[in-house]
């Protein structure tokens, strides 16, 4: 999905080159906002345990993750990132993080999970602001 997003972005990058930093900022801000919303919303709705590894919820999460990856790839096109290098790194990191997440998730997820998601969202937002500031200043 990052490669598809990058390809889509490369086709329109010349059309929006004057404000691509705003597009990248907006996309990263939206992803960050969704992460924050998910972290804060799920704290209020932890009444029952849900198995996310089965059924419609798994499909929904897979589609949402794919859309996020597509948005990241689109942002990469605007930032002139080498997609041939970035895409395998994203895949490898995602694979390792998934394995570690499944192994450690049940042990530390309840105490660290929401804070880690909030920290990740804040880091993404900081990256978005850095991109914006590097083009404005």
Report residue 54 as tokens.
């089965």
pLDDT in tens, 111-130: 776 788 888 889 889 988 98
What pLDDT shows up at residue 102?
78
Does residue 89 contact residue 10 with C-beta atoms inside 8 Å? no
- What is the token pair recorded at 89? 């790194």
Give how many domains the chain has, as a whole number: 1
Q: Give residue 20's domain range.
A: 2-136
What's residue 124's pLDDT? 85
How many CA atoms within 13 Å lie on the side-chain side of 45?
7
Query: What's the pLDDT score for residue 48?
Result: 56
Mean predicted confidence (pLDDT) in 54-67: 72
Q: Is the pLDDT of residue 50 over 60?
A: no
pTM: 0.56
Q: Tell me: pLDDT of 96 over 90.
A: yes
């Amino acid at each position: 999905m990052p490669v598809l997003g990058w390809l889509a972005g490369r086709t329109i990058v010349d059309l929006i080159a004057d404000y691509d930093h705003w597009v990248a900022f907006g996309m990263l801000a939206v992803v960050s906002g969704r992460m924050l919303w998910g972290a804060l919303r799920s704290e209020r709705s932890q009444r029952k345990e849900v198995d996310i590894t089965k059924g419609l919820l798994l499909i929904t999460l897979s589609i949402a993750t794919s859309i996020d990856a597509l948005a990241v790839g689109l942002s990469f096109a605007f930032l002139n990132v080498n997609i041939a290098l970035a895409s395998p790194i994203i895949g490898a990191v995602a694979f390792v993080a998934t394995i570690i997440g499944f192994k450690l998730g049940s042990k530390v997820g309840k105490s660290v999970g929401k804070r880690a998601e909030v920290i990740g969202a804040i880091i993404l937002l900081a990256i978005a602001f850095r991109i914006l500031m590097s083009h404005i200043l």
